[in-house]
Amino acid sequence: MSIESTRAADFAVVDTPIGPFTAITDDEGAVLASGWTADAENLRLLIHPMLRPPVLRQQDSLGAVTEAIVAYHRGEVHAIDDVPVHQRSGEFLMHAWDVLRKVPAGDPVTYTEFAAIAGRPEATRAAANACARNAAALFVPCHRVLRIGGALGGFRWGLDAKRWLLDHEG
């Protein structure tokens, strides 16, 4: 077991226009997992085993992370851009998540385009897998990736939430 995974992590739940949003942060204030749910334990299980905290502590606020969540949902769509995120996986997924953070709000891409900007134009399925395995929703904005023709595709937090996010950013 990694030393990283022996630490407790903090979480807070924020009310948003599309339901409760929970974020889990490490002791450096980086987001480990987040999404539109009040179930912090379910989120904890999405965290890579090497980073997964054994204990969660509920807080009223996570400081800058909570401020960014509130600001984003109020219309400041760039408030999430500089929030640190810690995820772990293989080389391509790590790179793909970094690329996702650079997809501009209001300018979604297709899975095919995402694969190309991630440097593997033939790997559309791998690009879709990066979205599916992303534990840090919103901060790693997988909602900005669509199917060819503009169909929403999948989204762990529901297609209604994905549509709201895209409309909010548009």
In our burial notation (b when 16+ CB lie closer than 10 A, e otherwise), range 56-89 reads beeeeebeebbebbbebbeeebebbeebebbbbb
Distance CA 104, CA 91 (A): 23
Instruction: Let me know if 142 is a catalytic residue.
Output: yes
**For residues 117 and 109, is the Cβ–Cβ distance under 8 A?**
yes
Residue 129 DSSP symbol = H
Distance CA 51, CA 4 (A): 6
Cα–Cα distances in Å, from 80 out to 21, 71, 77, 92, 136?
Answer: 14, 8, 7, 23, 11
Enclosing H/E stretch for 142: none
State the catalytic residue, choosing from 115, 142, 145, 146. Answer: 142
So which residues are the catalytic ones?
Answer: 142
